[in-house]
Amino acid sequence: MFVMGDLGGITGEFNSWSFKPRKAVIDQLEQDALDSAVQEAEDLFA
């Protein structure tokens, strides 16, 4: 849980998008490039 206290009265807007790669693009990747991308993504959460 994240709690933020803002005493300055500054407000803002947050926009979020869910990214879903196109299957046609993923299917064109070479296997070693795909494996490398998967490993980098897994390392982010390790």
1-46 per-position pLDDT tens digit? 566 666 777 777 888 889 898 999 999 999 999 999 999 999 999 8
Those residues whose C-beta lies under 8 Å from the C-beta of residue 26, and which sit 6 or more positions away, are 34
Whole-angstrom distance, CA of residue 25 vs CA of residue 16? 23
Q: How many Cα atoms within 13 Å fall on the side-chain side of residue 10? A: 4
Among the residues of the chain, which ranges form H helices? 23-28, 31-44
Whole-angstrom distance, CA of residue 14 vs CA of residue 21? 22
Predicted TM-score of the model (pTM): 0.50
The predicted-structure confidence for 31-41, as pLDDT tens digits, reads as follows 999 999 999 99
- Say which residue the tokens 């980098």 belong to: 40
